[in-house]
């Protein structure tokens, strides 16, 4: 059983992850409108990753015998000046999410909630990868500069990213992970 404070904080993080999914879906749509199909695919994969992050939290709260309470998801922006601006915003957002998990971990330590502390470690590690991915693409975009040919090569390259997370959670996370293998 989670404390009320921990339950509320984890519910808040479900909302943050749902917003992340919404933000990347908006970026995918914008990239598609601009003819950048590879970027659109990359952001749609990221959308699935975020839904997985939200569902892991959702299931954890329920398994602890607590309640999931969904709140309104704020509206994401709908246009960006360039792929560079999209990835700079993505990195900034992921840095914010990293700080959220650091705070959640601090709360779990303060509450002597060892189970939640262990559960959150997965996210702390995941955030290193998330920021690394964004920094890598920002680096590629810096090298490309204003070169349209180079931008199209990046589009083709990042568009090959596949979804590695499950997308059907109707029987729970474990079953979804097994089915996705």
Nearer to ligand FEO, 7 or 49 (CB): 49
Q: Which residues fall within 8 angstroms of residue 79, CB to CB, at 6 or more apart?
A: 30
Q: Which residues fall within 8 angstroms of residue 62, CB to CB, at 6 or more apart?
A: 68
- Counting other chains too, the contacts that 76-81 makes at CB distance below 8 Å and 24 or more residues apart are 76/19, 76/22, 76/23, 76/25, 76/26, 77/23, 77/26, 78/26, 78/29, 78/30, 79/30, 80/27, 80/30
Rounded distance between C-alpha atoms, residue 98 and residue 172, angstroms:
25
Nearer to ligand FEO, 91 or 152 (CB): 91
Please state the closest distance from residue 123 (CB atom) to ligand FEO, in A.
7
Please state the closest distance from residue 52 (CB atom) to ligand FEO, in A.
8
Nearer to ligand FEO, 27 or 151 (CB): 27
Nearest one of 106, 10, 142, 103 to 64, comparing CA atoms: 10
Rounded distance between C-alpha atoms, residue 134 and residue 33, angstroms:
21
Please state the closest distance from residue 17 (CB atom) to ligand FEO, in A.
5
Q: What are phi and psi of 82, to 5 degrees?
A: -160, 165
Please state the closest distance from residue 156 (CB atom) to ligand FEO, in A.
23
Nearest one of 92, 169, 106 to 135, comparing CA atoms: 92
Residue number of the CB closest to ligand FEO reads 53
Nearer to ligand FEO, 52 or 80 (CB): 52
Nearer to ligand FEO, 76 or 144 (CB): 76
């933000």: which residue's tokens? 23
Residue ranges in contact with ligand FEO by CB under 6 A: 17, 20, 50, 53, 94, 97, 130
Nearer to ligand FEO, 113 or 130 (CB): 130
């Amino acid at each position: 059983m989670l404390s009320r404070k921990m339950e509320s904080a984890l519910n808040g993080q479900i909302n943050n992850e749902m917003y992340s999914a919404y933000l990347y879906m908006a970026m995918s749509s914008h990239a598609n409108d601009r003819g950048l199909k590879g970027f659109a695919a990359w952001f749609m994969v990221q959308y699935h990753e975020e839904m997985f992050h939200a569902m892991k939290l959702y299931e954890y709260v329920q398994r602890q015998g607590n309640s999931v309470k969904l709140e309104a998801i704020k509206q994401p922006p709908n246009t960006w000046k360039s792929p560079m601006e999209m990835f700079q915003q993505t990195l900034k957002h992921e840095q914010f999410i990293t700080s959220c998990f650091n705070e959640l971990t601090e709360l779990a330590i303060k509450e002597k909630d060892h189970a939640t502390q262990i559960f959150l470690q997965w996210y702390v590690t995941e955030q290193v990868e998330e920021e690394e991915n964004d920094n890598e693409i920002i680096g590629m975009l810096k090298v490309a500069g204003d070169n349209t040919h180079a931008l199209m090569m990046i589009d083709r390259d990042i568009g090959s990213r596949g979804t590695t997370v499950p997308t059907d959670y109707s029987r729970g996370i474990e079953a979804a992970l097994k089915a996705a293998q």
